[in-house]
Amino acid sequence: MTSLFERLKADCKGEWDAYTDHAFVRGMADGSLPEASFRDYLVQDYLFLIQFARAYALAIYKGRSLGEMRGALQGLKAIIEVEMDLHVRLCERWGLTPENLEAAPEKTQTVAYTRFVLDAGNAGDLLDLYVALAPCMIGYGEIGAALTVGTGPLTADDTPYAEWINEYASPDYQELSLATVENLDALASEMMTEARYPRLRSLFASATRLEADFWQMGWDAAR
């Protein structure tokens, strides 16, 4: 069976390319991204991750077996124990504490994206939810790998955003990204029909556009 993720990515190529090759991403790679843009993104992404943790908690609730519940738990732990800790470390350089981050107001793009995913999960089943989550979980892994291809781990001499890039290029995150693809395909093999595919494609396209909007939010912060 063709990978559902690869099919969605191919059918939404314009949205995917606009997300994974956004000016914000290129700016992280070559170091030209203004620090103010990155700081604004990190604060909003911290708030974003709080809501995404809730989405994975919803996946645990919607799990039909212990295996599905354990799979969702791994995603939840990656957010709370790895990604959010990365944001805290990076924000410490500006004197921002976890309390400061959590108290920051959510921007419109943050609200739009996170509530879209939660609504998709609440209204649908596990497949709907994971399709809506896929651009974030898989896309960050693809971006991290692309920015380090041929070079290995980056240093601050390469770009001031090396720590962020290296986190998402790391073997642990790449393994999580691959597991997300495999989980999506396993669910599709059981739950997807051709009649259902247009709905899943719409969910994926919308979530991917919202990811690009999130980069744009940070890009605009210093302008």
Exposure b/e, 73-91, CB count within 10 A at least 16 = b: bebbebbbeebbebbeebb
Based on the residue annotation, tell me whether 136 is a catalytic residue of this protein: yes
> Is 9 within 8 Å of 16 (Cβ atoms)?
yes
CA distances from 103 to 90, 111, 118 (A): 17, 15, 21
How is residue 80 written in tokens?
Answer: 């709370």
How is residue 25 written in tokens?
Answer: 């991403």
Q: Which of 15, 136, 142, 167 is catalytic?
A: 136
Give the span between the Cα atoms of 23 and 21, in whole angstroms: 7
> Is 125 within 8 Å of 193 (Cβ atoms)?
no
Burial class (CB in 10 A: 0-12, 13-18, 19+), 127: buried
How is residue 207 written in tokens?
Answer: 């979530």
Catalytic residue positions, numbered: 136, 211
